[in-house]
Amino acid sequence: MIPMNIMTLPPDIAAISALQSKLVSALRPILPEHALLWEPEDTIPYECDGLAAYKRMPLAVALPETEGQVAQILKICFAMKIPVVPRGSGTGLSGGAMPISQGLVLSLAKLKKILSIDPFTRTAVVQPGVRNLAISEAVAHLGLYYAPDPSSQIACSIGGNVNENSGGVHCLKYGLTLHNVLRVRGILMNGEIVEFGSLAPDTPGLDLLAIVLGSEGMLAVVTEVTVKLVAKPRLARVIMASFDDIEKGGNAVAAIIAAGIIPAGLEMMDQATTRAVEEFVNAGYDLEAAAILLCESDGTPEEVAEEIERMTKVLEQSGASGIRISRDETERLKFWSGRKNAFPAAGRIAADYYCMDGTIPRRHIATLLKRIQGMEKKYGLGCLNVFHAGDGNMHPLILFNGADKEEWHRAEEFGTDILEACVELGGTITGEHGVGLEKINSMCVQFGEGERESFWGVKSAFDPEKLLNPDKGIPTLSRCAEYGRMRISGGKLPHPELERF
């Protein structure tokens, strides 16, 4: 993790203010007055994204209303060599939209029109600021929906989803953003408008759409997204299974997949989580269970009946101590309510929580949970475990009090330990939240120098001047060297008074 006092050298106030005036006067002629902010009271809402511990003030914030304005802004910044941080709804959890002190924040929030919906080809063309859920709402009357459903779907934007390759609770069956986006129209840092992918099943040349998806705003600024719409299943039912042992729960997940079933959703919560959320939502969770598994089936009524029966059998054979099957839509939503409200529930029992996002092979779920229990003792902090069990994507929520600097430091160390355990178990440091700034040091653990150098090669292919969100996602060589030295000395920094990185 990055120390709080991070990243920039002590700012030269006079130089920054001169740069700010230059940038503002260059952008003023192309933007309406309300679309350009630079006074601190106006730009302060943009100092951080969903990871509030990481804050920094930008030179200015631009809120363009057309693609043409986005292109002009980029051309101007390109000419002035001013870095640009693209921003969607600001719900990201890894600091990917954290400003750069000598850079511009480019908010795409005002590009929020659904441009077209075509039920025949099952596609919709939307601007990047359109909220994820707004797409599904707009096409519901056609019996269609947009499948990826990150927990923040009520607020997060499709442009942000493209940049993070967001998943959700149903991606085991319906895929990630990658599998549900056909075309991305975007603008390179030099202002050139390009299109990645197409409405056809493939495009000539290398599959550049695949690398733009999940690129955390570092390769191109998204101005238009063509999404795939899928038929809304006629019915969905969920099984809620209790386990008296976490290991049994983890094994049940593997057994369901091994039986040839791909559930629409397969989620797990540990006891600490069910107890925290039950107080909040009264979903009727089994509070004695060590783990609760939510296992959903969707499709035609016939399909669902068949799959629920098969899944129930597997869960029973896996030693479930209790099984309940939702009888109707109200009950299904009730069973899900706790899982969907895990984050607010964590916010209710602790002053702050720090959400991790590692992914591991399914078979190691119980191993990791046991290690996390050990870490809770080591760091003296509690942790709630909710996760997308079906695809091994864990979301440990580390509870701490942010007002206590030392406690936040312990929470960060706890998080770093979890991520390193994920890598060691054959997984990855981030499944869907992105590296951003938060996990940039853990990238040094997951990747070797050659891979990191290749990432910089990819970055330079799109943005040779390294101006587009340049401090995110990929660590520099010197950062990893420094990080290695810090980890080796057991967290005891040789010169704690010095600013790092």
Partner 1 sequence: MNAANPIIEAFREQILHASNNKTKLSIEGGGTKSWYGNSNTHTKLDTRAYSGILEYQPEELVITACAGTPLKVIEAALKEKNQMLAFEPPHFGKHATFGGAIAAGLAGPGRISVGNFRDFVLGTRIMDGRGQDLSFGGQVMKNVAGYDVSRLLPGSMGTLSLLLEASVKVLPRPAATATLRCQISQEKALRVLNEWAGQPLPLSASCWIGNSNEEGQLSIRLAGAAAAIKAAVPLMSSLVNASEVDPQSAEVFWNALREHQLPLFENLAADQTLYRLALPAACGPLSIPDASNEIILEWHGQQRWIKAQGDEATFNLIKQLASSHGGHATRFKQGSSVDTSFQRFTLLSEQAHSQALELVQERLRSAFDPSGVFATKRLP
Q: Find the binding residues for partner 1 in span 254-283 (CB under 8 A).
A: 254-255, 257-258, 260-262
Of the candidates 284, 380, 464, 484, which one interacts with partner 1 according to CB under 8 A?
Answer: 464
In the DSSP assignment, the letter for residue 29 is: G
- Token digits of residue 171: 């991606």
Question: Should residue 199 be labelled a site residue for partner 1 when binding is judged by CB under 8 A?
Answer: yes
| Shortest Å, Cβ 163 to partner 1 | 10
Please, which residue, 114 or 142, has the CB nearer to partner 1? 142
Of the candidates 225, 431, 467, 468, which one interacts with partner 1 according to CB under 8 A?
Answer: 431
By DSSP bridging, strand 383-388 and strand 265-270 are: antiparallel
Question: Should residue 140 be labelled a site residue for partner 1 when binding is judged by CB under 8 A?
Answer: no
Question: Should residue 10 be labelled a site residue for partner 1 when binding is judged by CB under 8 A?
Answer: no
Stretch that binds partner 1, among 84-92, 127-135, 286-294, 388-396 (CB under 8 A): 388-396
Of the candidates 234, 348, 378, 405, which one interacts with partner 1 according to CB under 8 A?
Answer: 234
Give the per-residue contact string, 68-107, with partner 1 (x = CB under 8 A; - = no). Answer: ----------------------------------------
Question: Should residue 118 be labelled a site residue for partner 1 when binding is judged by CB under 8 A?
Answer: yes
Q: For residues 390 and 172, is the Cβ–Cβ distance under 8 A? A: yes
Residue 37, C-beta contacts closer than 8 angstroms, at least 6 positions apart: 43, 46, 60, 61, 62, 63
Quickly list DSSP for 91-150.
Answer: --SSSTT---TTSEEEE-TT---EEEEETTTTEEEE-TTSBHHHHHHHHGGGTEE-----
| Shortest Å, Cβ 169 to partner 1 | 12
Nearest to 343 by CA among 384, 402, 293, 292: 384
Question: Should residue 202 be labelled a site residue for partner 1 when binding is judged by CB under 8 A?
Answer: yes
- Alpha-carbon distances of 235 from 150, 152, 231, 467, 500, rounded to whole Å: 21, 23, 11, 48, 54
Question: Should residue 201 be labelled a site residue for partner 1 when binding is judged by CB under 8 A?
Answer: yes
Please, which residue, 58 or 436, has the CB nearer to partner 1? 436
Nearest to 171 by CA among 204, 143, 147, 142: 147
Question: Should residue 224 be labelled a site residue for partner 1 when binding is judged by CB under 8 A?
Answer: no
Please, which residue, 23 or 325, has the CB nearer to partner 1? 325
Nearest to 188 by CA among 146, 229, 222, 141: 222
Please, which residue, 102 or 152, has the CB nearer to partner 1? 152
| Interacting positions 179-198 with partner 1 (CB under 8 A) | 179, 185, 188, 192-196, 198
Please, which residue, 58 or 88, has the CB nearer to partner 1? 88
Of the candidates 474, 479, 480, 483, which one interacts with partner 1 according to CB under 8 A?
Answer: 474
Nearest-angstrom CA–CA distance, 73 and 69: 6
Give the per-residue contact string, 276-315, with partner 1 (x = CB under 8 A; - = no). Answer: -----------------------xx-xx-xxx--------
Nearest-angstrom CA–CA distance, 500 and 3: 7
Phi then psi for residue 39, to 5 deg, are -70, 140
Question: Should residue 29 be labelled a site residue for partner 1 when binding is judged by CB under 8 A?
Answer: no
Nearest-angstrom CA–CA distance, 175 and 309: 24
